[in-house]
A and B are shown apart, each in its own frame.
Chain A
Amino acid sequence: MIKAILVFNNHGKPRLIRFYQYFPEDMQQQIIRETFHLVSKRDDNVCNFLEGGSLIGGSDYKLIYRHYATLYFVFCVDSSESELGILDLIQVFVETLDKCFENVCELDLIFHMDKVHYILQEVVMGGMVLETNMNEIVGQVENQSRLEKSEGGLSGAPARAVSAVKNMNLPEIPRNINIGDINIKVPNLSPFV
Chain B
Amino acid sequence: MALKMVKGSIDRMFDKNLQDLVRGIRNHKEDEAKYISTCIDEIKQELKQDNIAVKANAVCKLTYLQMLGYDVSWAAFNIIEVMSSSKFTYKRIGYLAASQCFHEGTDVIMLTTNQIRKDLSSPNQYDTGVALTGLSCFVTPDLARDLANDIMTLMSHTKPYIRKKAVLIMYKVFLKYPESLRPAFPRLKEKLEDPDPGVQSAAVNVICELARRNPKNYLSLAPLFFKLMTSSTNNWVLIKIIKLFGALTPLEPRLGKKLIEPLTNLIHSTSAMSLLYECVNTVIAVTKIVLIIVRINILSCTVVKYLGLLAMSKILKTHPKSVQSHKDLILQCLDDKDESIRLRALDLLYGMVSKKNLMEIVKKLMIHVDKAEGTTYRDELLTKIIDICSQSNYQYITNFEWYISILVELTRLEGTRHGHLIASQMLDVAIRVKAIRGFAVAQMAMLLDNAHLLAGNTQRNGICEVLYAAAWICGEFSEHLEDPLQTLEAMLRPKVTTLPGHIQAVYVQNAVKLFAAVLTRRETAGEKQAAQETTEMLIEKLPQFVQSADLEVQERASCILQLVKYIQKLQAKEVSVAEEVTALFAGELNPVAPKAQKKVPVPEGLDLDAWINEPPSESESEDEKPKAIFQEDEPKHSRPRLTELDEQELARRREARKQEQANNPFYIKSSPSPQKSYQDTPGVDHIPVVQIDLTVPLKVPGMPISDQYLKLEEERRLKQKQEKKDKKKKKKKEKHGKSRRHDSAHTESEEDIAPAQRVDIVTEEMPENALPSDEDDKDSNDPYKALDIDLDKPLADSEKLPVRTHRPSRTEGLKSPDVDTTAEEQRPKKSKEKDKKKDKERKVCYFSGHKDHLFNLLQNPSNHQHLNYKVYDIQGNLQDGSQVVVSVIFENNCTDFLKSMEFNVLDSLNTRLVRPSGASVHDGIAVPFQLPPGVSNEARFVFTVQSIVMPQKLKGTLTFIVKTEDGSTHEKLDFKLHFTCTSYLITTPCYSDAFAKLLESEELKVNALKLDSINMPFHHLLAKICFHHHFSVVERIDSCASMYSRSIQGHHVCLLVKSVSMPSCGQ
Contact = CB atoms under 8 A, between A and B. Distances in A.
Given A47-B305, A49-B306, A143-B126, A133 B198 contact: yes
Given A118-B96, A140-B161, A147-B88, A16 B234 contact: no
A144 to B, nearest CB: 5
B338 A47 contact: yes
A151 interface: yes
A146 to B, nearest CB: 10
Contacts of A88: 235, 272, 274
B961 interface: no
Contacts of A114: 18, 60, 63-64, 93, 96
Contacts of A144: 88, 92, 126, 129
B67 to A, nearest CB: 5
Interface in B66-115: 66-71, 87-90, 92-93, 96, 100, 103-105
- Using C-beta atoms within 8 Å of the partner chain, give the interface range for chain B: 35 or more
A173 B172 CA distance: 45
Given A29-B69, A47-B303, A153-B89, A85 B9 contact: no
B430 interface: no
A176 B137 contact: no
A147 B64 CA distance: 23
Nearest to B374: A41
A159 B239 contact: no
Contact of A125 (B17, B92, B133, B277): B133
Contact of B22 (A48, A111, A154, A162): A111
B221 to A, nearest CB: 16
Nearest to A162: B13
Interface size class, chain A: 35 or more
B379 interface: no
Contacts of A42: 338-339
Given A118-B96, A153-B89, A162-B13, A46 B66 contact: no
Given A82-B278, A130-B202, A51 B340 contact: yes
B273 A84 contact: yes
A80 to B, nearest CB: 5
Interface string B146-172: 000000000000000100110011011
Interface in A114-142: 114, 117-118, 121, 125-133, 136, 140
A80 B206 CA distance: 11
A17 B274 contact: no
A67 B414 CA distance: 34
B266 interface: no
B165 A158 contact: no
Contacts of A98: none
B133 A155 contact: no
Interface string B6-43: 00011011110111101100110000000000000000
B56 A154 contact: yes
Nearest to B12: A159
A131 B303 CA distance: 24
A172 interface: yes
B471 interface: no
B168 A17 contact: no
Contacts of A176: 23, 26-27
Contacts of A147: 88-89, 124, 126
A156 B9 contact: yes
A14 interface: yes
Nearest to B86: A151
A25 interface: yes
A116 to B, nearest CB: 11
B338 A46 contact: yes
A10 B305 CA distance: 26
A193 B114 CA distance: 39
A133 B206 CA distance: 18
Given A114-B93, A153-B89, A176-B26, A126 B168 contact: yes
B340 A25 contact: no
B236 interface: yes
Contacts of A85: 235-236, 239, 274, 278
Nearest to B243: A82
A88 B236 CA distance: 9
Interface string A94-108: 000000000000000
Contact of B53 (A24, A143, A154): A154
Nearest to A154: B89
B313 interface: no
B302 interface: yes
Contacts of B18: 111, 113-114
Given A80-B212, A85-B236, A47 B165 contact: no
A159 B15 contact: yes
B411 interface: no
A18 B57 CA distance: 20
B55 to A, nearest CB: 11
A150 B20 CA distance: 23
A50 interface: yes
B441 to A, nearest CB: 38
Contacts of A29: 69
B212 to A, nearest CB: 5
Interface string B907-951: 000000000000000000000000000000000000000000000
Nearest to A21: B103
B637 to A, nearest CB: 68
B208 interface: yes
Given A20-B137, A114-B96, A140-B161, A128 B209 contact: yes
Nearest to A32: B69
B648 interface: no
Contacts of B478: none
A17 B99 CA distance: 11
Given A80-B212, A158-B9, A130 B164 contact: yes
Contacts of A87: 274, 303
A26 interface: yes
B821 interface: no
A15 to B, nearest CB: 8
Contacts of A22: 103-105
* Interface core residue of A80, A82, A151, A156 (most chain B CB under 10 Å): A82
A110 interface: yes
Interface centre among A52, A85, A151 (most CB of B within 10 A): A85
A49 B343 CA distance: 11
A28 interface: yes
A186 interface: no
Contacts of A129: 201, 205, 236
B136 interface: yes
A45 interface: yes
B750 to A, nearest CB: 30
A22 B73 CA distance: 13
A131 B172 CA distance: 17
Interface of A: 1, 14, 16-18, 20, 22, 24-26, 28-29, 42-43, 45-52, 80, 82-85, 87-89, 110-111, 113-114, 117-118, 121, 125-133, 136, 140, 143-144, 147-148, 151-156, 158-159, 162-163, 166, 172-173, 176, 190, 192-193
Given A25-B69, A80-B212, 10 more contacts: A42-B339, A87-B303, A111-B18, A125-B132, A126-B136, A126-B168, A127-B136, A144-B129, A159-B15, A172-B27
20 contacts: A25-B69, A46-B302, A80-B208, A84-B278, A85-B278, A88-B274, A111-B18, A113-B22, A118-B92, A125-B132, A126-B171, A130-B202, A155-B17, A156-B9, A162-B14, A163-B17, A176-B23, A190-B271, A193-B234, A193-B235
Interface of B: 9-10, 12-15, 17-20, 22-23, 26-27, 53, 56-57, 60, 63-64, 66-71, 87-90, 92-93, 96, 100, 103-105, 124, 126, 129-130, 132-133, 136-137, 139, 161, 164-165, 168-169, 171-172, 197-198, 201-202, 205-206, 208-209, 212, 233-236, 239-240, 243, 271-274, 277-278, 302-303, 305-307, 310, 337-341, 343
> Considering the complex of A and B, which 7 residue pairs feature the smallest CB-CB distances, nearest first?
A126-B136, A84-B274, A22-B103, A46-B338, A47-B302, A29-B69, A47-B306
